[in-house]
Amino acid sequence: MAEPTRIIGDKAQRSAFVPAGGTTIAAKRIVIRSGSGVNQIAAASTAAQAYWGITTAALTVTASQAAHGNVQIRDKGIVTSGAAIAIGDRLTSDASGKAIPAAAGNAFVGIAMTAATGVDLDVEVEIVTGGPEMP
């Protein structure tokens, strides 16, 4: 099977941060906008949140230092699976920001372009949510 690929076009990602004392977010996790800061984020934790995108690298936070990084908000990205995923599944978040198939009526961050047979595998996703310039 071909390796999942990330395609990041113009205006496809945004700078983001997690404040000092916040929770570290792993790479390839679904995130939401959170807090009062511009582009402040947190890991998604339910299937009913308004997703913003997927982290492109880990944002590691300490008690005294914030973490800055990028969030991919459109095009093809890579997300970590939290369950088995089939090609074409709409993807939502589990409690740790990993992708799982969305139930009918749940929010979703994108559509799976590759499959995963279990947990902690890379899945290519066509991101269909997030970002202030999203049509």
- For 92-106, how does the pLDDT look when each residue is reduced to its tens digit (9 = 90+)? 999 999 999 999 888
> Distance from first CA to last CA of the chain, Å, rounded?
33
How far from 129 is each of 23, 24, 62, 73, 120, CA to CA, in Å? 23, 23, 29, 7, 22
Q: Which residue ranges make up each domain of the chain?
A: 13-127
| pLDDT tens figures, 31-69 | 998 887 788 889 999 988 889 999 999 999 888 888 888
Q: Which residues are 70's β-sheet partners? A: 15
Residue 46 one-letter amino acid:
T
Mean pLDDT of all residues in 125-133: 67
Task: Report the pLDDT averaged over residues 119-132.
Answer: 82
C-beta separation of 71 from 41 below 8 A: yes
pLDDT for residue 72 is more than 50: yes
1 pLDDT more than 70: no
Distance CA 122, CA 22 (A): 25
Please calculate the CA angle 91-123-16 and round it to the nearest 5 degrees.
75
